[in-house]
Amino acid sequence: MSRVTMADVAKKAGVSKSTVSQFINKRFEYMGEETKKKIDQAIKELGYQPNYLARSLKQKRTSMIGVIVANIMHRFSTEVSRSIEDYCQQHGLHAILCNADDDPEKEREYIEVLRAKQVDGLIIFPTGKNIELYEKMMNENYPVVFMDRKVEGLHANFVLASNSEASYEAIRHFIGNGHKRIAIATQPLSISPRIDRLQGYKDAMKEENIPLREDYMLHAEIHKMKAELKKLFSLPEPPTALFAGNDLVFLETLEAFKENQVKIGEDIALIVFDNIPFAHLVETPVTTIAQPGFEMGQKAAELLINNIENKVSQVARQYVFPCELMVRESSQSKVE
C-alpha cells in the first residue's frame, strides 16, 4: 500500500497542504472549527501518520527534549518530570526521560546519547560532576535548564527550591516547641539541596545560641542510614527532635523507629523535607516541607522551550521557588 500523504489529506478535506500542516503543528490561530473538523475527519478516515523524520529535517528540529533525572526514586523528581511532560505535550513536544542514578558517568552518557539523537534541548537534575560538559553546552548556546541542584560557577538557568530558608523555618518550629536537642539526617553532602538544608539547620540553631553537636548531624548513604539512626538514639542524651532531609531518609527513619519502638510525636518530634503523599495518613500525621514540584517543572519546561524557539540564550539566573511547612502532629510535641 502506498503511504498516505499530506496532499491526500488536503484533497479529502478540501483545504490546502499548508492548512493541513498548520493543523498537524497545532497552529490554530486563524483556523475555523469547521476546517479543523474536516481535517481531523480526513486524517482518521485515511489513517494518515505524520512523517516526523521528514518534518524534523525540514524544520531542523526533532520536537523532542531530554529530561535527565538524578534519582527517579524521589517523589519530588517524579512530580517534576510529570509536570515537564505535561507542559511539553501541550506545546507539541515529546519528552524523553532518563534516570542517572546519581552516577556522573551515566549522566554523561545520557547527555551524549540524547544530543546525538538531536533532541532540541535538555532539562538536567545535575550530579554536579560533569562541569566541563555543562560548560561546553553553555558555550555552544545549546538549550539546557538545570533543575533542583545548583552547580557553583556555572552560568546557566537553574530552577530551585528555597532549601535553606525552608529548613530554617522547620528548625525554628522545633525551637518554638521548646526543643534544643535537634538532630538532622541527610544523605552525604554531595549536592546543593542537602548542603543548603544543613545550612538552614545551622542558621536557626546559631540564632538561638544552641550549640551545634557533630553527633546530631548525620550524613550517611541510605543503606547505612538505619544503623546510624540507631547510634544517634543510643547516645546518653538522644535528640528530642529530628529533621529528615528527604523522603528516602524518612522511610529509613520510619523503619528504624518501628524496630526500636520509638513513637513519633511522643518520644520524638519529626519534620520531613519532601513531598510525602501519605504523610497525613500515617498513625501520627507527619509534618513536611512541601516543594512546588509541579510549578518548578512547568517553569523549567517553559524556559527551555522559549530558549529553543527563540534560538538565543536567555539571561542566566536562578529561579527560586518557596516551600511550605505543612504542620501536623508529628512536630507538635513539646519538651517536658
In SS3 terms, 269-315 reads as EEEEECCCCCCCCCCCCCEEEECCHHHHHHHHHHHHHHHHHHCCCCC
Q: Decide which of 77 and 29 is more confident.
A: 77
SS3 at position 318: strand
Is residue 162 a contact partner of residue 322, using CB atoms and an 8 Å limit?
Answer: yes
Helix or strand or coil: residue 321? strand
pLDDT at residue number 151: 95
Helix (H, G, I), strand (E, B) or coil at 76: helix
Give domain status of residue 306, yes or no.
yes
Chain centroid to Cα 149, Å, comes to 9
One domain, residues 298 and 153: yes
- The whole-angstrom separation of Cα 67 and Cα 239 is 40
Residue 157, pLDDT > 50, answer yes
Q: What is the mean pLDDT of residues 262-276?
A: 90
Show the cell assigned to 175: 525551637
Q: What are phi and psi of 15, to 5 degrees?
A: -130, 175
Residue 313 confidence (pLDDT): 61
Q: Evaluate whether 13 touches 39 at the Cβ level (below 8 Å).
A: yes
Rounded to the nearest 10°, the torsion over CA 267, 273, 275, 281 is: 10
CA distance 317 to 24: 35
Q: Answer yes or no: is pLDDT of 185 > 70.
A: yes
**Amino acid letter for position 305:** I
Q: What is the tens place of the pLDDT at every residue in 188-212?
A: 999 999 999 999 999 999 999 999 9
pLDDT surpasses 60 at 99: yes
51 — pLDDT class (breaks 50, 70, 90): low
Query: What's the pLDDT score for residue 279?
Result: 67
pLDDT tens digits, residue range 253-265? 999 998 888 899 9
Q: What is the CATH number of the domain that holds 241?
A: 3.40.50.2300
Q: Can you give the pLDDT at residue 22? A: 82
Q: In the chain, what percentage of residues exceed pLDDT 90?
A: 67
What's the pLDDT band for 57 if we cut at 50, 70, 90? very low
Residues 108 and 220 placed together within one structural domain of the fold = no
CA distance 251 to 258: 11
For 86-115, give the secondary structure using H, E and C.
Answer: HHHHHCCCEEEEEECCCCHHHHHHHHHHHH
Let me know whether 254 and 177 are in one domain: yes
Q: In the β-sheet with 144-147, what is the strand arrangement from edge to edge?
A: 94-99, 64-69, 122-124, 144-147, 157-161, 318-321
With respect to residue 55, please indicate whether it lies within any of the assigned structural domains: no
Q: Is there a single domain that holds both residue 139 and residue 257?
A: no
Please report where in the chains the cell 553553555 appears, as a residue.
138
Whether 171 and 286 share a structural domain? yes
The CATH number of the domain where 26 resides is what? Answer: 1.10.260.40
Same-domain check for residues 194 and 276: yes
How many structural domains does the chain have? 3
Residue 1 lies in a domain: no
Q: Is 336 within a domain?
A: no
Q: Within this chain, do residues 37 and 70 fall inside the same structural domain, yes or no?
A: no
3-state SS assignment for residue 46: helix
Q: What does pLDDT average to over the chain?
A: 90
Residues contacting residue 49 through CB under 8 Å, at least 6 positions apart? 4
How far is the C-alpha of 79 from the C-alpha of 89, rounded, in Å?
15
What are the tens digits of pLDDT across the range 10-49?
Answer: 898 899 888 888 887 777 777 888 898 998 898 888 888 8
Nearest C-alpha neighbor of 329 from the set 289, 279, 291, 292: 279
pLDDT over 70 (residue 311): no
Mean pLDDT throughout 144-165? 96
What's the pLDDT score for residue 62?
A: 82
Rounded Cα–Cα distance for residues 72 and 111 (Å): 17
Identify whether residues 191 and 135 lie together within a single domain: no
Out of 132-136, 202-206, 217-221, 278-282, pick the least confident. 278-282
pLDDT reported for residue 237: 95
